[in-house]
Amino acid sequence: MKHDSIAVIDFGGQYAHLIATKVRRAGVLAEIRQPDDPTDMFRGYKGVILSGSPSLSAFGEDSEWNKEVFELDIPILGFCFGHQEIAKYYGGRVEHGGREWGLATLNILVDHPIFKGLEKKETVWMSHFDTVVAIGPDFCEYGYSKLGETGKEHRLAAIGSDKYRRYGFQFHPEVENSVHGDEMIANFVIEICKCNPTWSMEAYLAETVERVRAQVGDKSVFLLASGGVDSTVAAKVFGLALGADRLHLLHVDNGMMRKGESQRVLKMYADLGLDQNLHFIDATDEFLAAIGNETDPEKKRRAIGTTFVEVFDREAKRLGIESHLLGQGTIYPDTIETGGTKRADTIKTHHNRVPIIEKLIKEGKVVEPLAELYKVEVRELGEKLGIPREAIWRHPFPGPGLGVRLLCSNGVTPKDDIASLQAAVGPIAESFGLRAYVLPIKSVGVKADLRSYEHPVVLCGDASFEKLTEVSGNILKEVQGINRCIWNVMGDDPKTVEVVEGYMTRDRLDLLREADQIVMDALRHHHLYDCIWQCPTAMVPLKINGVGRELVIVRPIKSERAMSATAAELPPVVIDEIRRGIEKLPRISGLTLDLTSKPPGTIEWE
Ligand code: XMP
């Protein structure tokens, strides 16, 4: 079935993706398009939405894009930057108005289908620098806004022209803070663009099952079954389309999984009735041998990636996958230019580099049943397909697993000038009544889009979470050579810290698995698992004040898509529970919580 669809032009940031998910929620397919896509690409759509932009200004030279889109005879709606572009194109004027940010009341002045079902006053979210100060002929002011606390009036917050079928909102209806923003978007696609709302998960599933059957014919599909959301939902769709007997799954344990993870994944596939051709390989020895005594984070990653390629290629050949099609759980953001994190892209190259997979891709033997879906939609589909909630809502877990959370060292302290770093951080912490200690090891971070490899600082003392993150922010901003701040939550100040030998060994991985399990249990037990985006536990080979040889770091974060993140606060009772668990483990020298935002820290320590 051909669905009516809307093009969303992506001017940067995450706005376009949010808009597209809202359009889809209204039952209409939305696709992301780039600002310089040729006009012909837009012809099949029933309407276009221009997103906002975090960096572009409609005022000046930087708003270069294919404005021929305005010549198309289909409705266009713009938000923020998009709104300003519409105003300008049709004879209006835009000025730098200064930063305006926050909740605002939109006073609606017209009875117009775009506001169908809404009140005359609506709460909306504003975030912009530039402002439309005049509109061209044939345009009307549809509404003005008053900004939250300041009460500052903002004319032309909503504008439109029924003659041209062009509409613009200065605010962002796509963000949750705009209370009835979803309704405004739905009104545009249904009332103005006259789309037939046929897009639904049920319809998608039925069509995808048909598509998979047509593409696979009488062959079978081979899928790498990591246990992650995407591959699990993809597996279930294949099972439904082809029958479990025509689906071959391979699960590889690289030795750096969470405690009991592989067993859980295998059981889940069995519970889903997908275990007729479920293959499992425990390649721990091979992975650990490949990493050996390596301590450099990038070399460790490369060793893991290369071993994966070797193991997978060998196993796939052994299982005869050349006679199958290759199933992949690729999702929509992976297939478009702006989607995915840079890191995620390199990670995927691990899989794409597998020679046997490259061969199948070249031969066009790849089936991707989720390629049009966003993550939230994959989850929705997963729920409909009866996949357990824990599997659908689990935190992201990196391909190299605990390998990027277990720091390694040959026991030699780096020759950096720790004393001068210490001299710089001390006074900043003291000015907040806290103490700070620079650690003689390094972790990976990201500064100005580039990888950094620098020292962490441990903060000691009692303070509110706000204060701790403020000190952390100040230190990270002011002291070159520091990319992380962690907070000591167990025992004395780390006055003497000694780097000890520690490599990627079973023993250390087992200890990290236990620590990670304690943290995950505490989050679940206190119903925090779903409120926290991800919570890596890392371990560093340090003896502190003559005790132990492993410092544990817990990193609870808030994030949307992992591109940026901030530290999440854990209530004292949760920290207590984690502390009591960690204290019982052998070889532990301390417990800390990571306060670092991304940037300058990455989510993972390596
Ligand atoms: P960073 O550490 O770059 O992590 O801030 C961003 C997100 O990506 C995950 N991550 C990975 N995922 N393979 C993956 O599949 C990897 O090598 C990898 N490294 C980081 C990380 O867990 C976070 O969600």
Predicted confidence (pLDDT) per residue in 35-76, tens digit: 999 999 999 999 999 999 877 666 555 568 999 999 999 999
77-to-81, 160, 197, 269, 407 alpha-carbon distances in Å: 11, 9, 18, 45, 50
Looking from the CA of residue 301, the nearest atom of ligand 1 is: 17
Q: What is the pLDDT of residue 347?
A: 34
Amino acid identity for residue 383 in this structure: E
Distance CA 384, CA 324 (A): 27
Rg (CA), the chain: 27
pLDDT confidence bin for 335, thresholds 50/70/90: confident
Tokens read off for 606? 């390596």
Mean pLDDT of 64-92: 96
Distance CA 408, CA 395 (A): 25
Return the residue matching tokens 């989607």.
339
pLDDT confidence bin for 354, thresholds 50/70/90: low
Q: What is the pLDDT of residue 346?
A: 41
Tokens read off for 601? 């820290």
Q: Which helix (H) or strand (E) holds 335?
A: helix 332-335
**Any atom of ligand 1 within 6 Å of the Cβ of 515:** no
User: Is a pLDDT exceeding 50 seen at residue 201?
Assistant: yes
Q: What is the DSSP letter of 27?
A: T
pLDDT confidence bin for 350, thresholds 50/70/90: very low
Mean pLDDT of 116-135: 94
Tokens read off for 403? 């390998």
Under 8 Å between Cβ of 108 and 115? yes
Helices of type H across 259-323: 261-271, 284-291, 297-318
Q: What is the pLDDT of residue 561?
A: 74
Q: Which positions are catalytic?
A: 80, 172, 174
Tokens read off for 24? 């889809």
User: Is a pLDDT exceeding 80 seen at residue 349?
Assistant: no
Distance CA 374, CA 498 (A): 46
Tokens read off for 32? 């992301």
Mean pLDDT of 558-570: 89
Distance CA 180, CA 185 (A): 9
Nearest CA to ligand 1 atom 19: 398
Residue to probe by mutation, ligand 1, list 257, 300, 343, most atoms within 8 Å of CB = 343
**Any atom of ligand 1 within 6 Å of the Cβ of 396:** yes
Under 8 Å between Cβ of 311 and 286? yes
Under 8 Å between Cβ of 469 and 567? yes
Residues forming beta bridges with residue 158, ordered by sequence position: 143, 169
pLDDT confidence bin for 465, thresholds 50/70/90: very high
| List of residues 6+ apart from 12 with CB closer than 8 A | 51, 53, 54, 55, 56, 338
Q: What is the pLDDT of residue 344?
A: 38
**Any atom of ligand 1 within 6 Å of the Cβ of 516:** no
Q: Which helix (H) or strand (E) holds 333?
A: helix 332-335
Tokens read off for 260? 């009991």
pLDDT confidence bin for 318, thresholds 50/70/90: very high
User: Is a pLDDT exceeding 90 seen at residue 473?
Assistant: yes
List the beta strands (DSSP E) in 355-449.
Answer: 366-367, 409-410, 435-438, 443-447
Distance CA 277, CA 265 (A): 14
Q: What is the pLDDT of residue 316?
A: 86
Nearest CA to ligand 1 atom 3: 602
Q: Is 598 helix (H, G, I), strand (E, B) or coil?
A: strand
Average model confidence (pLDDT) for the chain? 92
Mean pLDDT of 506-527: 98
Q: What is the pLDDT of residue 357?
A: 73
Q: Which helix (H) or strand (E) holds 459?
A: strand 450-460
**Any atom of ligand 1 within 6 Å of the Cβ of 297:** no
| One-character DSSP codes across 68-115 | GGGGSSS-EEEETHHHHHHHHHTT-EEEEEEEEEEEEEEEE-S--GGG
**Any atom of ligand 1 within 6 Å of the Cβ of 561:** no
Sign of CA dihedral 53, 55, 58, 64: negative
Under 8 Å between Cβ of 468 and 487? yes
For 108-120, the three-class secondary structure string (H helix, E strand, C coil) is ECCCCHHHCCCCC
Residue to probe by mutation, ligand 1, list 299, 397, 603, most atoms within 8 Å of CB = 603
pLDDT confidence bin for 348, thresholds 50/70/90: very low
Q: What is the pLDDT of residue 128?
A: 84
Q: What is the pLDDT of residue 338?
A: 43
Mean pLDDT of 285-310: 94
Predicted confidence (pLDDT) per residue in 204-253, tens digit: 999 999 999 999 999 999 999 999 999 999 999 999 999 999 999 999 99
Under 8 Å between Cβ of 395 and 401? no
Q: What is the pLDDT of residue 63?
A: 67
